[in-house]
Each structure stands twice: as structure tokens, then as C-alpha cells.
């Protein structure tokens, strides 16, 4: 009998801590982004290297102050994918980050398959160093669906793995 009580005192706090950790990671720190309706979706133009707003609708986004890479957004656009490829900077090597399951419009696995060979969609640069070492990227599929997330860039990789940061990286605030 005493062994059962001791086990209960050990297991119960572990289960409660696990449930609290799950809740904090999946629900607690996220907040909905209120769209401004005019500049929520921008892509860096090749010639000017400045962000340019594109046509979009049905914009939904979430973010969290607890991590610079928790931003996720979904939208629809009437822009032609081939026109976008010709006009805007393509972002190489981006991989969609998993969103919480309750943010249903953003499925990173399906998006990754759609972007894998470049035939069904493309990833573009939206803003370089939106925070130090983190770029905002926009993926647009051939069906008009669009997605936004934050991607750790080369400077961020070096910062987080402890490598020396090159002169190409901006000064950190």
C-alpha cells in the first residue's frame, strides 16, 4: 500500500507538469494577428530589393512573443505564380514550420510536399532580418493559396550554433 502512495506522489506531478507543458506550447503563448487589410502580404521585388504588397484576401495569422519563428499566416491571392516568379526574389531552402493543430489553414507537411519540386508553388522573400537572424518568407501555390512563416537565415544559424558571425551579417541590437 505504501508503495502505491509513493508512486502516485511521483507520477501525478509528472502527469500534471506534462499536461501544463503541452498546454503552454500548443495554446497559451499564441495570439491572433489582427490584419490591417493593406500591407499584410509583401514580397521583395527583384529590381528594387524592396518589399511590395501583392493582392490578397482571406488573411489569417497567429504569432507568439516567446519565439521569433512562431509566426504563421494563410491567405489567398489572385496573382499568377509565374508572374510572381519573374518579378520577385525567390527564397531558396525554406521549409514550412509546423503550426499548432488548431490553426487549420496551415499544414506544413502538405505545404512542404507542394513546394518540394517547385512545380506547384514557390517561396519568396518577404522581409530580410525581420528580427536578427530571422527572415519572413511567403509561399504561394499555383491554386492561389498563400502561406507566411519565419525562417532562420544564415546569420541566425551561426548565432544559434555558436559559430563566428560573418561580416555579411548585420550588427545585432
Give the residue from 95, 93, 139, 99 showing the smallest Cα distance to 120. 139
- Domain for residue 11, yes or no? no
Q: Is residue 1 part of a domain?
A: no
pLDDT at 27: 65
124 assigned to some structural domain? yes
Q: Would 83 be classed as within a structural domain?
A: yes
Q: pLDDT by residue (tens digit) across 14-28? A: 887 787 777 766 667
Q: 40 lies in a domain? A: yes
> For residue range 113-153, what is the model confidence (pLDDT) as tens digits?
999 977 799 999 999 999 989 999 999 999 999 999 999 99
pLDDT given at position 1: 66
Bridge partners of 60, per DSSP, are: 74
54 Ramachandran zone, left/alpha/beta (phi>0; psi -120 to 50): beta
Q: Is residue 25 part of a domain?
A: no
Residue 79 has pLDDT above 70, yes or no: yes
- Domain, as residue range, for 77: 32-161
Q: What is the DSSP letter of 24?
A: I
Q: Are 120 and 142 in contact (CB under 8 A)?
A: yes
Q: What is the pTM of this model?
A: 0.86
> Could you say which DSSP state residue 152 is in?
E
Whole-number pLDDT of residue 91? 97
Q: Decide if 147 is inside a domain.
A: yes
The CA angle 118-160-69, to the nearest 5 degrees, is 50
In a domain, 157, yes or no: yes
Domains: count for the chain? 1
Q: What is the mean pLDDT of residues 83-111?
A: 95
The β-bridge relationship of strands 145-152 and 72-76 is antiparallel
pLDDT digits (tens, 9 = 90+) for 1-10: 677 778 777 8
Residue 83 has pLDDT above 70, yes or no: yes
Amino acid at each position: 500500500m505504501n508503495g502505491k502512495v509513493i508512486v502516485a506522489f511521483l507520477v501525478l506531478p509528472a502527469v500534471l507538469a506534462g499536461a501544463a507543458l503541452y498546454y503552454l506550447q500548443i495554446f497559451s503563448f499564441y495570439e491572433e494577428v489582427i490584419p490591417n487589410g493593406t500591407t499584410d502580404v509583401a514580397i521583395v521585388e527583384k529590381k528594387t530589393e524592396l518589399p511590395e504588397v501583392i493582392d490578397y484576401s482571406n488573411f489569417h495569422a497567429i504569432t507568439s512573443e516567446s519565439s521569433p519563428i512562431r509566426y504563421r499566416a494563410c491567405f489567398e491571392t489572385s496573382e499568377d505564380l509565374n508572374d510572381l516568379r519573374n518579378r520577385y526574389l525567390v527564397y531558396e531552402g525554406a521549409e514550412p514550420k509546423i503550426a499548432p493543430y488548431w490553426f487549420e489553414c496551415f499544414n506544413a507537411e502538405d505545404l512542404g510536399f507542394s513546394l518540394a519540386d517547385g512545380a506547384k508553388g514557390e517561396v519568396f522573400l518577404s522581409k530580410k532580418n525581420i528580427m536578427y537572424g530571422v527572415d519572413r518568407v511567403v509561399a504561394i501555390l499555383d491554386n492561389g493559396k498563400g502561406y507566411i512563416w519565419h525562417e532562420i537565415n544564415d546569420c541566425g544559424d551561426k548565432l544559434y550554433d555558436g559559430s563566428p558571425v560573418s561580416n555579411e551579417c548585420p550588427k545585432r541590437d
